[in-house]
Each structure stands twice: as C-alpha cells, then as structure tokens.
Chains A and B, each alone.
Chain A
Amino acid sequence: MNMENIKDFLLHDFFVTGEPMIYMADVAIILVSLAIVFVLTYFKKWKWLWKEWLTTVDHKKIGIMYIIAALAMLFRGGADGLLMRAQLALPNLHFLNAQHYNEIFTTHGTIMIFFMAMPFLFGLINVAMPLQIGARDVAFPYLNAISFWLFFFGALLFNLSFVIGGSPDAGWTSYTPLAEKGLDPGVGENYYLIGLQLSGIGTLASGINFIVTILKMRAPGMTLMKMPMFTWASLITSVIIVFAFPVLTVALAMLTIDRLFGAHFFTADSGGMPMMWANLFWIWGHPEVYIVILPAFGIFSEVISTFAGKKLFGYKAMVWSMIVICVLSFFVWVHHFFAMGAGPAVNSFFGVSTMLIAIPTGVKIFNWLLTLYKAKIRFTTANLWALAFIPNFVIGGITGVMLAVVPADFQYHNSYFLIAHFHYVLIAGTVFAVFAGLHYWWPKMFGHMLNERLGKWAFWIFVIGFNVCFLPMHFVGLMGMTRRLYTYPADLGWTPWNFIETIGAFAMGVAFIIMVYNIYWSARYGERDTTGDPWNGRTLEWAVSSPAPEYNFATIPEVKSLDAFWEMKKNGEVEKWRKQPLEPIHMPDNSYRPFVISVLFFIAGFGFVFEWLWLGVIGLIGVFLCLALRSFEKDEGHHIPVEEIERTERAAGRL
C-alpha cells in the first residue's frame, strides 16, 4: 500500500468526513480528552483513578460508574433525539440529509436501550440490591467488574462509529436483508453487531451474578417472601436476561458471520431467511422490554411505599404478577410483526397473549394506588417521578392493548402511533424510574442529597415536555405518518403536530440540563446526609451510613420481616444491632484484569469492525491469555481488621 492509498483510505473510509457537525464532534472529543488528561495530571489523580475506580470490584463504585456512563449516553441519545425533532419540526427541511437522519435514529434507539436504559438500571441494582439484602458485595465481584467494563467498551466502540468509519443506519432493529452487506456496505452495521455483542456478554454475566447474589447472599432470616420489591424485580429481571440474551448473542453472531464471512443466514438469496432475524431479534427483544421495565417497577414500589410511609399493598400479588409477566414476556414476540403475513391462528395467539400482560400489570397499578390509600404522601422529587409514572404509564399501557388488537395493529404498525406508545412506556416507565431511583439513592451513593427545588423544576419541565412531545404523535400516526421518515411534505396536515412535538422535545432537553446542574450544585452545596436514613426508609440500605462504607454492614443484621429496617426502628432494635461485637470482614481484592480484558475485547472488536482479522485475532489471543492467567490465580481476598472498621464507623458517628 503506498502513501496515496493510505491517505485515501483514511479520508474516505476511516474518518467520517464532509459533515460540519462531525468536525465539531471531532474537535469536541479531542478537547474533552485533553481536558480530562490535563485535570487528572494537574491534580495528580491518575493513581486514584486506577486504584479506586478502574480496578475496583466494589459493587457500589461499579454501580456509580454504570450510572455516570448511562447519563453520558442519555446525553448522546437525547442529542440524537433532538436532532431528529429539529429536522422534523417543519416539512421539507434540509437540516439533516436522509443518510444522516437514518444514522441518527439508528443510534438513538440503540443507545437508549442498550447503553442508557439497561446500564442505568444495572447501576441502580448494583448500588442498592446488595445493600437491600444485607450483603457485602455481589456473589462474583470480579465478574461484576468484567460486566461493567464490557458494557463500557461495547458502548465506546459503538460510539466510535460516529467519527471513525460511519454510523450504522439500518434502524435499531437492524432488519435483514437491509442490514446485510449487499444493501448496507461499509462498517457502520459491524459497529452495531460487535458493540452490542460485547455489552451483551457483560449483561448476561450480570444476570447470572445477580441471580446468585440474591439466592445465596441474603442476610439471615430474609426468606424470599421477605425480600424488598426492588430485589424481587432484580431477581426476575435477571432470570429473563439469562433466558433472553443468549438469543441475541446468537443472532448477532449469525449476522456478523453473514457480513464478515459471506454466510447466508439472513440474506435474501441463496436460501437465507430474512424473516428469521425478525423472529430471533424479537424473541430477545420483547423480554428485553421487561428487562428494562421490571426493575423500574421495583424502584417505584420502593419509592412509593417509602414516601407513602406505608407497607407496599398486596406484596404477594406484586411478586406473582412480576413472575407472570416474566413468563408471558417470552410468548408475545410476534406482536412486533403481526403484518408479516402469519396465519390467523398465530396472530390470534400472540394478540391474546399480549393482551393478557395487561392483567398482571393492571394488578400492579391498583396495588400502587392502594399503597397511596390512607397514606401520608410526601412529595419529594423522587416520589414525584414515581407518582407521575402511574398516569403516564397507563397511557402507554392502554395503547399497548390497542396495538394487540391485530386488525387495528395493521393500521398502527410502524406509524407514529407506535412511536408514541413505546415512548410512553419506556420514558414514563424506565426513564421516570431511573430518575426516581437517582434522587432516592443519591445520598446513599455520595453522602449528600440532591437539591429538591432544582429537582422539582426539572421534573415538571420534563413531564410536561414529555407529554407535549409524545401525545401528538398518536394523532400524526393515525394521519398516516410512518416512523423513520427524514422529511415529509407540507400538504398532509402533519406540520402543526410535528412542530409542537419538537417544542416538547426541547423542553425535555432543558430539564436534563437542569438535572445535570443539580448534580453539580448539590455536590458543592447540597445538604449532607449524616443519618444514613434521610427518607425514613424501610429497607436495609438505609441502615448503614451514607455513603455506604466499603464493607456495607459492620455486622450483618438479622431479618425478621418485610421492611426489615422499618421494623428495627419501630421495635427499637437499631442501637442493639449497632452495638454487636465486630469481627474482621472478608472482602474481595481489586483487580486490573477486568479492565484489561475489556480493552482487549475492544481491540478485537475494532479489528472485526474493519474486518482486519489479524487485529481481531490478536485481541482475542490477549483475551484468552487473560482468562488463562485468571484460572491460575489464587484470589483469596483480604480481611478488613476490626480497628479499621471501628475507625470507619466512628467517623460516621455510629460508635
């Protein structure tokens, strides 16, 4: 290869060129990277970063890293959304061209589901679940770090497509044969496949980790039916992950083999079956919906019950309804493509099974309402998000049932009616939940509260903006506007609705900025939480100081009933528990390897994206080397001596 060829490759295939917005992004990326390097060097923080964060196996720190990454991805995905809304504000705009728009809706959907919703929830599960069950870490802390770093580098790889090589552009569903090489040459789609593959492996490992943690590491006396609802939700979610994610792994691998090695699993010719992709994708994809909604239900249960000052109404029904949802979630996937010509029996089955999900979900809604009945409702920011969930999510729920009416679905499918539906369930469900959880558990993570005034401003602007943006989408959908249109003509009557939607979208953007400012403001001036129990909480995470010490519990509490901490407080047992004799605590050691193995996966992934098999193979050899080293390693952890525990507890004012 001579110089001319290399230059040609770099300018045409490697770096994305010719778009002013991308050049701006290039500059921003370089400046931000330099700023980070400068700050870390100037404040001599490199060692701190490595020792405290990059090599940590502490579930709380891993949780915090998940949440920071998810917030960054919410920013990226949100910016994508705003660009789309700007383009659609008026008919025939040329703000974005078709190709650019197609890339942006693809990355918007993929990032929001894989790199925002799931990691945000995983972050909250990591922070709160081990504390709720009275454990000192997850069952496999080392694996937990691998899960996080695989997600992180998967997300990084996916985002790299923006400036190097070009973004995927076949939609987040990546339907074949459009996503096959014949109709979609270039590396964009490879980024999608490999990026999701990496983070998907991490997700699967997390699922196993959470199941074992919850089943094996609960405090003495905490039977399954005495677990907090969020822990139940995490358990059921993890079960869904373990059954659903392997399907995605296999489907992604098959499409990768099609694209990289010329196989024909999903091609239109040579005996490929394009529709099989749709089946495999949604066999994973529908359970995925419940992977991001059940933890949200868990968060709402905790927050509503805490700020109602009441026991959760119908605990058993709440648990059983989640189990029923979990089972049903595997029997509804065809409702994503009723219009692909399945016979009446198939469509009837999947239509009715979809409607059935409304029953356990309805049971949950009524139980939340009855939890509020005869309560003392405190309108904190966390609780506002949880309360707003109920009416907004119900709108998404009823349109969900309407979409299950197969003949009507033929008219809603792929239209903005569908877009409105799933944004109502995913935003009012998952996004409201992670915001509620963020405000609720913030003091437990950082030792100070988020500002309530700023929090409420962000809440109201977001919720109003959300409805202004997505409610009109129902109508434009019925007017015949389909999703993924980069522009539309002026004469169809869609214009005013689209314009209103754009205003709502930007209001949500404003609310996000207020929320980020709130994080900054509260870190500097926010009220410190010295009690460890700022909300008069009910579950065990509020029994320890804020932020939780490395070992979580100086001594493990004995659980006698549901809402263990609430009962301890009621029966005056807190002091007695705190005065129990201390013993050295066994904790896992930090390890550099989860980070390194994920970097190697990233290198291999980058090689496969550009189909440089030599680089892929080098990366994978590194991965296997790490695995081999690990298998010969004696990792027995360390003990925190009693004096150190005493010192920590005294500093928190507990001894």
Chain B
Amino acid sequence: MVKKALKSLMLFGLSIFALTGCDVPVLQPQGPVAEKQFHMIIWSSILMLFVLLTVFTLFGFVVFKYRANRANDDDYEPDLEGNTKLEILWTTIPIIIILLLAIPTVITIHDSMKNPSPDKKPITIEVTSAEWKWLFRYPEQGIETVNVVHIPADRPVHFVLTSAGAMNSFWVPSLGGQMYTMPDMKTELWLEADKPGRYDGRAANFNGENFAHMTFTVVAQKQADFDKWADKVKAEAPALTMKEYKKLLKPGLVGKKVYSSYPAELEHASDMDMPGMKGGEASEHGKH
C-alpha cells in the first residue's frame, strides 16, 4: 500500500519538474545510493505534508471563524485554559509520526555506510580537495585525474576522501548525498551509477575565493569502456611528478587533467586517521 502510494507520488512530483523542463538531480536519482536517499526524502515529505495540511487547515479555520467582528460571538470563552485529553492527543500523534520517520532513518543510516551492492566488486578512488580543484587517484589503475572522475557504471565506487587545504564537501547530487573532505582526516563515501552518463559534481562546503568554480564531472562508463580509457591514460597521458603535484596544490583554478601515474611517495598519503575513529564504532566500517 505504502509503496504504491510512494510510487504514484514520486511520479507526480517528477512530472511537475518534467513539465517545467527542469533538471532536479536530487529527485532524479541515477544510482542506488541516491535512490535510497530519494525514498527517504519522499517518505519524510509525505509525513510532513500531513502535518502541514493539518496545521494549515486548523489555522485557517480558527482565524476565520473566531474573528472579533463575526456576526455572532456567543461562543466566546475567554477563560478556556486547557484540555488534558487534547494535550495528550497532540503529543501522541507527533510521537507516532517521529517514530515512523526515525526507524527507517536509523536503518538507512546504517545501510549508507556500506557497499550499496555487496554482490558486486567495488572500485576504490581516492579524492583530495585542494584550493579550488578536485584530485582523483585510482590506486588500482595507478593513474590520477583532476576535476574529472571516470567510474565504471553499475559498479559500487568506494570514495576515500581527504583535503589538502580547507574543509570541503564532495557532492554528486545525481548519484547520492555529500561527504566532507577534511585535512589530516579520511572520510568515505559509497556511490554507484546505474548507467553510463555524465553527472555534475560540485564542492558543497565553502573554501574561499574561487569556491563557485570548483566543479567536477563524473563520467560513468561501461566497464569495458572504463578499462579502455584507463589503459589509454596509462599509455598516453603525462606522469604526475612531485613538482607538478605541489603546483597543483597551490591555490588557483585549473582545467580537467589526466596523469598516467602519481609519485610513489604519495602511495599511502591518505592512510590517516578517520574522524572520531579512536575506539569509536566508525572503525568497524572503516576496515575494508
């Protein structure tokens, strides 16, 4: 029942945006992570719409009905001061609504920390935000890219994130919610694209002057195309030297770049503490 209602509501919501010709990535999920989050958005919207309509109706009713200049004010009761039954009622109903919301929330939180498609083999990509560019390292392919990240479609991607400067936040709305990048710390984010395509990514946490221009593109490709691309980069692109790397980290804007390798001393650069990891439960999912 609920699922059916959910689906029709989703279709309704989408059709509105389709009519206006808008691209609303958060409401048009392109992968399982974004989709799960989208379901939570719709479910919470339904519950909250119920609250909204209740309050608006009651509000409109009392304000109109009990205006001072009404014809007949015999029902005026200046000393009306409370009603225990009503108080219990409007404490209980919100509690039920909150439970209906809290339970799926907690379940989804736990899910979102895991591989969205456990039966598929994930690929790991290391992400570093710098002043005002995104660096992507592919440890399995041994290559590095800037402001563009290629991923195989239909395969979970395990992003391991850090920052070489100010804090930032890595956000690809079509594929799923964001995760902060922080200096000297490591966070992780699972995303997956259902099908090949190009998706806009953006810096979501302010980090100074050229923050607005700090965008990147996610290129999802079929596994074979991805492999072909990686081989081509490996064969044809220049190597990333330490000198070039240091230049990249300096504040400024650069275009999209690809490198066939990265300096060996950066191999384990991102092996650092995760936030709140010391004895915290975060370490359970931190090991992979």
Chain A residues in the interface with B (C-beta under 8 A): 98-99, 102, 169-171, 175-178, 183-184, 268-269, 274-275, 308-317, 337, 339-348, 351-352, 355-356, 358-359, 362-363, 365-366, 369-370, 372-379, 387, 390-391, 394-395, 398-399, 401-402, 404-415, 475, 477-480, 482-488, 492-493
Contacts and interface: CB of A to CB of B under 8 A. Distances in A.
Contact of A484 (B27, B180, B206): B206
Given A178-B208, A482-B202, A409 B59 contact: no
B55 to A, nearest CB: 5
Contacts of B51: 362, 394, 398
Interface stretch (B61-69, B139-147, B239-247, B255-263): B61-69
10 contacts: A341-B274, A344-B110, A344-B113, A351-B105, A369-B55, A379-B68, A391-B55, A395-B52, A406-B108, A475-B24
A275 B78 contact: no
Contact of B282 (A312, A313, A341, A372): A341
A390 B59 contact: yes
A482 B171 contact: yes
A337 B211 CA distance: 19
Query: Helix, strand, loop or mixed for chain B's interface?
Result: mixed
A571 to B, nearest CB: 13
Contact of A487 (B113, B212, B285): B212
Nearest to B47: A401
A372 B25 contact: no
B6 to A, nearest CB: 14
Contacts of A478: 24-27
B48 A407 contact: no
Contacts of B73: 376
A269 to B, nearest CB: 7
A99 B91 contact: no
Q: Nearest 7 pairs between A and B by C-beta? A: A410-B177, A341-B187, A268-B183, A343-B282, A398-B48, A178-B166, A484-B206
Contact of B78 (A309, A343, A377): A309
Contacts of A399: 48
Given A391-B55, A485-B211, 4 more contacts: A98-B212, A341-B276, A363-B94, A376-B76
A410 B202 contact: no
Nearest to A267: B183
Interface string B158-182: 0000010111010101001111101
B40 interface: yes
B219 interface: no
A596 to B, nearest CB: 39
A342 to B, nearest CB: 6
Contacts of B77: 310, 374
A177 B91 contact: no
Contacts of B207: 178
Interface stretch (B95-103, B120-128, B223-231): B95-103
B22 interface: yes
A267 to B, nearest CB: 9
B154 interface: no
Nearest to A106: B206
B165 A347 contact: no
A15 B281 CA distance: 51
Size bracket of the B interface: 35 or more
A102 B166 CA distance: 15
B149 to A, nearest CB: 17
B64 to A, nearest CB: 9
A370 B212 CA distance: 47
Nearest to B203: A482
A87 to B, nearest CB: 11
Nearest to B41: A408
Contact of A373 (B80, B109, B177): B80
Given A274-B167, A414-B205, A401 B48 contact: yes
B180 A355 contact: no
B249 interface: no
A176 B87 CA distance: 45
A374 B75 contact: yes
Interface string B32-60: 00101100110011001101100110110
Nearest to B165: A183
B118 interface: no
A403 B86 CA distance: 28
A411 B182 contact: no
Contacts of A313: 80-83
A346 B78 CA distance: 47
A342 B184 contact: no
A98 B210 CA distance: 7
Given A352-B106, A362-B94, A482 B275 contact: no
B109 A375 contact: no
